[in-house]
């Protein structure tokens, strides 16, 4: 299977990994911003934006990954149903 076919078949897992990577990067940016100032008023926007957006992306990535698993299971059930249908 070439890369294009694999990407087309597993687009949701690729998207999940991208979102998880984006979430981690966002959390790192938030940590970097918070650690470069001693003022709470300057730290708070980093917490709300980068920190929470990172959590949002991590949750979305995990959900997308689990959705891909459910989709695979659904297709496997399709195959089982088809085998049962063809059974004499």
Partner 1 sequence: MSRPVGPDPGRQPYPWVVPDLFRWFFLLGLSAVGLVVAWWGASGTADTGTQITWLNIGVASIVVGGLGNMTWLLQGRRAVALRRRDLLTGLTGDVAPRVSTARRPAETRVAVPGGTRHHRPDCVAVTGKTVTRGSTAKHEKAGRRPCGLCSGG
Among 14, 15, 24, 55, binds partner 1 (CB under 8 A): 55
Q: How far apart are CA 7 and CA 14, in angstroms?
A: 7
Interaction between residue 53 and partner 1 (CB under 8 A): yes
> Which structure tokens are listed for 46?
């980093």
Minimum CB distance to partner 1, residue 58 (Å): 10
CA distances from 53 to 4, 19, 28, 76 (A): 30, 11, 11, 35
| CB contact at 8 A, 24 and 58 | yes
Give the integer Cα–Cα distance in Å for 86 and 84: 5
Shortest distance, position 22 Cβ to partner 1, whole Å: 13
Q: Does 40 bind partner 1 (CB under 8 A)?
A: yes
Tell me the C-alpha distance between 61 and 13, whole Å.
Answer: 9
Told to check if 29 binds partner 1 by CB under 8 A, we report no
CB of 82 to partner 1, least distance (A): 6
**Which residues of the shown chain bind partner 1 in the complex (CB under 8 A)?**
40-41, 44-45, 47-49, 52-53, 55-56, 59-60, 62-63, 66-67, 70-71, 73-74, 77-78, 80-82, 84-85, 87-88
């Amino acid at each position: 299977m070439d890369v294009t076919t694999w990407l087309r078949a597993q687009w949701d897992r690729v998207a999940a990994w991208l979102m998880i990577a984006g979430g981690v990067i966002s959390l790192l940016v938030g940590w970097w911003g918070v650690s470069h100032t001693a003022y709470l008023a300057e730290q708070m926007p980093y917490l709300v934006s980068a920190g929470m957006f990172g959590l949002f992306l991590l949750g979305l990535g995990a959900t997308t990954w689990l959705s891909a698993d459910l989709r695979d299971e659904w297709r496997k059930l399709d195959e089982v149903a088809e085998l049962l249908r063809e059974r004499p």
